[in-house]
Structure 1
C-alpha cells in the first residue's frame, strides 16, 4: 500500500508553494498525497438559511481552488474540504485515523502575529495530538526543483530516541541521499566534555540517517537559534531537521523557544521529528 502524506492546506497565495514543496520532498515514497482544507460549519439558527447557503458556496469554491492547486503535480492528489464543527486539530486527528499518514505538512506565514497563531493554535496541537513528523514550509523559503542535496539536523548533546512515527518517516530522509551536517550550538551551561561529538554520536545511534559520513558544525558564543540559522547559511542546507522531545509537546515548543525563533526566520523547510525521552535538563534549552 502506498504511504500517505497529509497536507493541511489553506487558500492563501502561497498555498501552492507549500503543496509543491511537500509533494517534491515526499516523492521518493510515491505517496498518496491528501490535501485537507478545514472549513468550520457555523452553528446557526434555522432561519439563517442565507448564511448556510453562503457557507456551502464557500466550500464549493474551496474544493475548486484545491483541485486547481494540484493540477500540475505529476501524480494524482486527493483533495478534501472538511466541513465540521470541530476545531482544526480535531479534524486533523480524524483525518490521521483515516489516512494513517507518514507525515503531515503545513505552511508558515511571515506575518509575526499570524505565525504565532499558527504555531500555538494549529501546529502544536496537531503535533501533540498525532505525534507524527510535521513538515513546516515557510512562506519565504525558495522553491525546490530537485530533492535536497544538503540537509542539516540540529541537536543538543543529550541522547534521543525517535518515536515509531519518526522511525517510519526515516525512510524518506534516507531516500534523499543528501549530504548531512549535524549542527550543535554550545550552551554556556553545558558540562559534558566534547558536546559536539556527543551530539554527532547520538544522531548516529538514532539510526535516522543512512550509514554515511556525517559532518559536524559547531558554534559557540551565540544564541542557539542564531547559531542554527547561521549553520543553514554556511552549509547551504536545503532542509533543516529539528527533534521535538516529549516535554515539548506539553510545554513551550512554539513559545519563546529555540524552535520558535528558528521558525520565525527560517528560509528552508523544517522537518520536526518527535522523539521519546530522556528529558533535557532544565538548564539546557535544547530545541524545546
Structure 2
C-alpha cells in the first residue's frame, strides 16, 4: 500500500494551499492524500462543498473524513487508520487566527502523534517539487524519532540541494559549532550519505530572524526545522524560535520531531 499524508482542514477556509503542497511534496512516492475535515461548532454554509471542490482540483482525488471528534482524538483516530508519513496544516496570515492554529491545532497535533508536521503559510508560493531546501539547526545534538526518520526515502526522492543553516546569537567563532551542526545532520540519516550539504553560518542577535533571512536567497522552496519535545512542546509556544520563524517564513516549514539524546556523564551539555 502506498504511504499517505494527512491534511487537517482548518477554518475559515479549506486547507487548499496546504493540500496542494502536500500533494507536490509526496508525489515521488505516490502517497495518498487524506483530508481530515473537522466539524467543530456550527458548520459554515458551503464548507463541505468547498472541501469537495478542492479535492477535484488535485491530480488524484484524496479521501475525505468528516468528524465531530475533538481535535486530538480525531487526529489520533486518523493517524491510527491511515499511518501517514506526515501531517499538513495551513497557516493564516491573520494574527489572531495564526495564534489559534498554532496553539489549538499544530501543537496538539504534534503532542498527540509526534509525526512530522508540514505548516504552509497562506502566502506561500505555488507548490512544486523542492529543489532548494534549508535545514536550520543549532549546535545541540538531536535524535530524530522513528516517524521523522521514515521521511528519509521521500526527501531522497526530491533530489534537492540542501543548505544547513546555523545561526547563533553568541559572538564566539562559529567554526566548531557549525561543523558539529553539520555533522549532526549527517548523523541523523535523514538524507543519503552521499548528499552534498552546503553550510551557511552567521551571527544574529535574534536566531529566528537569521533563519528567516536565509530563506530569501536563491529560490528556497522549503525550510526544515527540528522540533525538540523538551523545548518546542514543553515551553510556552510563542517564546520558541520555531514559532517566531513560523510567523515570518515565506515558504512552507517541515517540523521534524526529535529529542536531545542523553549525553555521557563526562560530556558537558551544550544547551
TM-score with structure 2 setting the length:
0.90
Q: Which residue does 1:132 correspond to in 2? A: 115
**Rg: which structure is higher?**
1
Aligned to 2:27: 27
Residue 248 of structure 1 aligns to a residue whose secondary structure is coil
Equivalent residue number for residue 49 of structure 1 = none
- Taking the aligned partners of 2:10 and 2:3, their CA distance within structure 1 comes to 23
The verdict on how the C-alpha distance between 1:100 and 1:22 changes in structure 2, with shifts beyond 3 A counting, is same
RMSD, aligned CA: 2.4
Higher fraction of helix: 1
* 1:13-24 matches, cutoff 5 A: 13=13, 15-24=15-24
* Cα distance between partner residues in 2 of 1:130 and 1:282: 28
Q: CA deviation at 1:28?
A: 1.1
**1:8, distance to aligned residue in structure 2 (A):** 0.2
Q: Is this contact kept in 2: 1:39–1:59, CA < 8 A?
A: no
CA displacement, residues 61-91 of structure 1 (integer Å, 9 cap, x when unaligned): 433221110102111210121123xx21221
CA distance in 1, matches of 2:115, 2:236: 15
Going from structure 1 to structure 2, the CA distance change for 1:151 and 1:192 (only over 3 Å counts) comes to closer
Aligned to 2:141: 159
Distance, in Å, in 1 between the alignment partners of 2:210 and 2:174 is: 19
Distance in 2, matches of 1:108 and 1:31, equals: 22
The answer as to whether partners of 1:154 and 1:184 remain within 8 angstroms in 2 is yes
Q: Structure 2: any 5+ residue segments left out of the alignment?
A: none
Instruction: Look up the match of 1:266.
Output: 249
Kept in 2: contact 1:128–1:249 (CA 8 A): no
1:221 corresponds to 2:204: yes
**How far 1:254 sits from its partner (Å)?**
2.7
Q: 1:242 aligns with which of 225, 236, 245?
A: 225
Partner of 1:200: 182
SS for the counterpart of 2:225 is strand
| TM-score, normalising length: structure 1 | 0.85
Partners of 2:11 and 2:168 in 1: CA distance:
41
Q: Is the 8 A contact 1:159 1:278 kept in 2?
A: yes
Cα drift, residue 190 of structure 1 = 7.1
Give the number of equivalent residue pairs.
266
Report the counterpart of residue 252 of structure 1 in structure 2. Answer: 235
Change in 2 beyond 3 A, CA 1:192/1:226: closer
Asked if 1:68 is matched to 2:50, the reply is no
Q: Is the alpha carbon distance of 1:215 and 1:193 closer, same or farther for their aligned partners in structure 2, counting shifts above 3 Å?
A: closer
Contact 2:117–2:255 (8 Å) recurs in 1: yes
Indicate the SS of the match to 2:68. Answer: strand
Distance 1:190 1:170, change over 3 A: farther
When residues 282 and 8 of structure 1 are mapped into structure 2, their CA distance, relative to the original with a 3 A threshold, is farther
Q: Contact conserved, 1:246 with 1:279, CA < 8 A, in 2?
A: no
Aligned-residue offset at 1:248: 2.9
Match for residue 6 of structure 2? 6
Q: Could you say if the C-alpha distance between residues 30 and 59 of structure 1 is closer, same or farther in structure 2, counting changes exceeding 3 Å? A: farther
